[in-house]
Amino acid sequence: MAERRETPRGELAIRTLAMPADTNPSGDIFGGWVLSQMDIAGGITAQARAHGRVVTAAVEAMSFHRPVYVGDVLCCYAEILRIGRTSMTTRVEAWALRRGEGKRVQVTEGVFTYVALDDEGRPRPVPEA
Protein backbone atom coordinates (compact mmCIF):
# COMPACT_ATOMS: atom_id res chain seq x y z
CA MET A 1 0.00 0.00 0.00
CA ALA A 2 3.02 2.35 0.11
CA GLU A 3 2.85 3.15 -3.62
CA ARG A 4 2.99 6.91 -4.27
CA ARG A 5 0.32 8.10 -6.68
CA GLU A 6 -0.33 11.35 -8.51
CA THR A 7 -4.08 10.84 -8.86
CA PRO A 8 -6.67 9.17 -6.63
CA ARG A 9 -8.18 5.77 -7.31
CA GLY A 10 -11.94 5.38 -6.96
CA GLU A 11 -14.77 7.89 -6.91
CA LEU A 12 -14.95 10.98 -4.73
CA ALA A 13 -17.22 10.03 -1.82
CA ILE A 14 -16.80 12.99 0.55
CA ARG A 15 -14.98 16.30 0.83
CA THR A 16 -14.64 18.20 4.11
CA LEU A 17 -12.60 20.99 5.68
CA ALA A 18 -10.07 20.20 8.41
CA MET A 19 -10.81 22.53 11.34
CA PRO A 20 -8.85 23.60 14.45
CA ALA A 21 -11.10 21.51 16.73
CA ASP A 22 -9.80 18.37 14.96
CA THR A 23 -6.13 18.83 15.91
CA ASN A 24 -3.87 16.69 18.07
CA PRO A 25 -1.49 18.20 20.68
CA SER A 26 1.11 18.84 17.92
CA GLY A 27 -1.32 20.99 15.95
CA ASP A 28 -1.81 18.52 13.09
CA ILE A 29 -5.20 17.02 12.32
CA PHE A 30 -5.82 14.02 14.58
CA GLY A 31 -5.42 10.67 12.77
CA GLY A 32 -8.65 9.39 14.32
CA TRP A 33 -10.57 12.22 12.66
CA VAL A 34 -9.07 11.31 9.28
CA LEU A 35 -9.91 7.65 9.88
CA SER A 36 -13.52 8.52 10.71
CA GLN A 37 -13.88 10.55 7.50
CA MET A 38 -12.50 7.61 5.52
CA ASP A 39 -14.95 5.24 7.22
CA ILE A 40 -17.82 7.56 6.30
CA ALA A 41 -16.64 7.66 2.67
CA GLY A 42 -16.28 3.89 2.46
CA GLY A 43 -19.66 3.44 4.14
CA ILE A 44 -21.38 5.74 1.63
CA THR A 45 -19.87 3.74 -1.24
CA ALA A 46 -20.77 0.37 0.33
CA GLN A 47 -24.31 1.51 1.19
CA ALA A 48 -24.92 2.59 -2.39
CA ARG A 49 -23.73 -0.80 -3.69
CA ALA A 50 -25.69 -2.76 -1.04
CA HIS A 51 -28.85 -0.71 -1.62
CA GLY A 52 -29.31 -0.33 2.12
CA ARG A 53 -27.78 -0.34 5.56
CA VAL A 54 -24.19 -1.45 6.11
CA VAL A 55 -21.87 -1.56 9.12
CA THR A 56 -18.11 -1.44 9.37
CA ALA A 57 -16.79 -4.92 10.13
CA ALA A 58 -13.02 -4.33 9.83
CA VAL A 59 -10.38 -1.74 9.10
CA GLU A 60 -7.08 -3.09 7.88
CA ALA A 61 -3.89 -2.02 6.16
CA MET A 62 -4.04 1.66 7.20
CA SER A 63 -1.10 3.71 5.96
CA PHE A 64 -0.56 7.32 7.00
CA HIS A 65 1.72 9.00 4.45
CA ARG A 66 1.56 12.71 5.32
CA PRO A 67 -0.10 14.91 7.92
CA VAL A 68 -3.32 16.83 7.35
CA TYR A 69 -3.23 20.48 8.41
CA VAL A 70 -5.89 22.91 9.58
CA GLY A 71 -7.45 24.47 6.50
CA ASP A 72 -6.75 21.52 4.21
CA VAL A 73 -9.74 20.16 2.30
CA LEU A 74 -9.79 16.40 2.91
CA CYS A 75 -11.11 14.44 -0.08
CA CYS A 76 -11.87 10.74 0.35
CA TYR A 77 -12.06 8.48 -2.70
CA ALA A 78 -13.48 4.96 -2.44
CA GLU A 79 -13.63 1.91 -4.66
CA ILE A 80 -15.02 -1.54 -3.99
CA LEU A 81 -12.33 -4.19 -4.32
CA ARG A 82 -14.34 -7.33 -3.55
CA ILE A 83 -17.95 -8.32 -3.01
CA GLY A 84 -18.73 -11.41 -0.97
CA ARG A 85 -22.11 -12.87 -0.09
CA THR A 86 -22.89 -10.34 2.70
CA SER A 87 -19.76 -8.17 2.77
CA MET A 88 -17.77 -5.75 0.65
CA THR A 89 -14.11 -4.80 0.85
CA THR A 90 -13.41 -1.18 -0.06
CA ARG A 91 -10.18 0.76 -0.58
CA VAL A 92 -10.38 4.34 0.63
CA GLU A 93 -7.75 6.96 -0.18
CA ALA A 94 -7.61 10.33 1.55
CA TRP A 95 -6.10 13.26 -0.33
CA ALA A 96 -5.58 16.77 0.98
CA LEU A 97 -5.99 19.93 -1.04
CA ARG A 98 -3.38 22.09 0.66
CA ARG A 99 -4.69 25.47 1.76
CA GLY A 100 -3.35 28.26 -0.39
CA GLU A 101 -1.25 25.95 -2.56
CA GLY A 102 -3.88 24.33 -4.76
CA LYS A 103 -1.79 21.15 -4.55
CA ARG A 104 -3.38 17.72 -3.97
CA VAL A 105 -1.37 15.15 -1.98
CA GLN A 106 -2.26 11.67 -0.80
CA VAL A 107 -2.23 11.59 2.99
CA THR A 108 -3.74 8.23 3.96
CA GLU A 109 -5.16 5.02 2.56
CA GLY A 110 -6.79 1.93 4.00
CA VAL A 111 -8.95 -1.09 3.37
CA PHE A 112 -12.38 -1.27 5.02
CA THR A 113 -14.85 -4.17 5.14
CA TYR A 114 -18.59 -3.50 5.42
CA VAL A 115 -21.42 -5.96 5.99
CA ALA A 116 -24.91 -5.43 4.55
CA LEU A 117 -27.68 -5.65 7.17
CA ASP A 118 -31.41 -6.30 7.00
CA ASP A 119 -34.06 -4.40 8.98
CA GLU A 120 -33.40 -6.55 12.07
CA GLY A 121 -29.66 -5.88 11.98
CA ARG A 122 -28.69 -9.33 10.65
CA PRO A 123 -26.30 -9.85 7.72
CA ARG A 124 -28.09 -10.04 4.38
CA PRO A 125 -26.84 -10.86 0.88
CA VAL A 126 -25.39 -8.03 -1.19
CA PRO A 127 -27.63 -7.76 -4.27
CA GLU A 128 -26.27 -8.44 -7.74
CA ALA A 129 -25.12 -5.30 -9.52
What pLDDT score was predicted for residue 1?
47
What is the CA angle 95-89-80, rounded to 5?
Answer: 60
Higher pLDDT residue, 1 or 107? 107
Q: What is the pLDDT of residue 4?
A: 66
Write out pLDDT tens, residues 38-90: 999 999 999 999 999 999 999 998 899 999 999 999 999 999 999 999 999 99
Nearest to 33 by CA among 54, 58, 64: 64
Q: What is the CATH number of the domain that holds 43?
A: 3.10.129.10
Domain membership of residue 5 (yes or no) is no
Where in the sequence is the domain holding 78, given as residue range(s)?
A: 11-116
- On the question of pLDDT at 5 being above 80, the answer is no
In a domain, 103, yes or no: yes
Residue 126 lies in a domain: no
- In the chain, % helix, strand, coil (3-state, to 5) comes to 20, 45, 40
DSSP state letter for 98:
-
Domain tally, the chain: 1
